[in-house]
Amino acid sequence: MADENYETINTLSPIAAFVHISLGLMALFLVSRAKGREWNERLAGYTISWVLIFLGFQYLFVSILEYRVTTRATGVYNNYGDEVFYTFLTYAQRSFECGYTIGLSVLPLIYPYPLIQRKSAARILGIIVLILGMVMIPFDIFTEFSYRNVRNLPWMIGYVVWTAIYLRFLFGEMLNGEKESRNVSSVAALLLMAWNGKFYMFWLIQLSGQANIYRGRFMVEDFVEQTKISGMAEVVLEALLVGSFLALFLGEMWRAFNKGSSGLTYLTGGMFGLGVIWFLLTLVYMDNITSCVESSCDLLSVAWINFYVITFQIMLYIGVPLLVMYVMLNYNIVDTDTGWGLVIGRTTGLLLILVTSSTLIELIQLILPVPEMITSAVFAAGVVAFIGWEEKIMKQLISKTKNVTESVRLVMSIPSYELSEGDYRFYSLTMMILCVYAFVISFLFEVMGIHQ
Mind listing the pLDDT tens digit for each residue in 263-280?
Answer: 899 999 999 999 999 999
CB 137 within 8 A of CB 443: no
| The pLDDT of residue 340 is above 70 | no
Q: What angle do CA 258, 260, 265 make, to 5 degrees?
A: 105
Contacts with 62 (C-beta within 8 Å, 6 or more apart), sequence order: 10, 13, 17, 76, 77, 93
Please give the helix or strand (H or E) that residue 319 lies within, else none: none
Nearest to 144 by CA among 232, 101, 233, 80: 80
The whole-number pLDDT of residue 452 equals 63
Average pLDDT over residues 252-269: 92
CB 219 within 8 A of CB 344: no
| The pLDDT of residue 292 is above 80 | no
Q: How many domains does the chain have?
A: 1
Contacts with 55 (C-beta within 8 Å, 6 or more apart), sequence order: 16, 20, 24, 96, 100, 320
Nearest to 148 by CA among 243, 53, 228: 228
**Phi then psi for 118, rounded to 5 degrees?**
-140, 150
Lowest-pLDDT choice from 75-89, 98-112, 119-133: 75-89
Rank 24-33, 213-222, 371-380 by mean pLDDT and report only the highest.
24-33
Rank 202-216, 242-256, 293-307 by mean pLDDT and report only the highest.
242-256
CB 356 within 8 A of CB 322: yes
Confidence band for 55, pLDDT divided at 50, 70 and 90: very high
The whole-number pLDDT of residue 71 equals 44
How far is it, in rounded angstroms, from Cα 27 to Cα 29?
5
**Percent of the chain, pLDDT > 70?**
79
| Higher-confidence position of 205 and 285 | 205
| Higher-confidence position of 114 and 394 | 114
Confidence band for 367, pLDDT divided at 50, 70 and 90: low
The whole-number pLDDT of residue 389 equals 61
Neighbours of 129 (CB within 10 A): 22
Average pLDDT over residues 335-347: 65
Confidence band for 441, pLDDT divided at 50, 70 and 90: very high
How far is it, in rounded angstroms, from Cα 276 to Cα 138?
39
The whole-number pLDDT of residue 394 equals 61
Lowest-pLDDT choice from 39-48, 230-239, 256-265, 301-310: 301-310
Q: What angle do CA 71, 98, 229 make, to 5 degrees?
A: 85
Q: How many contiguous H segments (helices) and E segments (strands) does the chain have? A: 21, 0
pLDDT tens, residue by residue, 419-438: 888 999 999 999 999 999 99
Average pLDDT over residues 336-361: 68
**Count of all residues that appear for the chain in the document:** 452
Confidence band for 1, pLDDT divided at 50, 70 and 90: very low
Please give the helix or strand (H or E) that residue 399 lies within, else none: helix 372-399
Lowest-pLDDT choice from 236-245, 335-344, 351-360: 335-344
| Domain span including residue 250 | 3-448
**Percent of the chain, pLDDT > 90?**
36
The whole-number pLDDT of residue 435 equals 94
The whole-number pLDDT of residue 79 equals 43
The whole-number pLDDT of residue 328 equals 86
How far is it, in rounded angstroms, from Cα 35 to Cα 42?
8
Neighbours of 373 (CB within 10 A): 8
Lowest-pLDDT choice from 6-20, 162-176, 387-401: 387-401
Collapsing DSSP states into helix, strand and coil, what is residue 190? helix
Confidence band for 72, pLDDT divided at 50, 70 and 90: very low
| Higher-confidence position of 52 and 298 | 52
The whole-number pLDDT of residue 9 equals 60
Contacts with 176 (C-beta within 8 Å, 6 or more apart), sequence order: none
Report the Cα 442 to chain-centroid distance in Å: 23
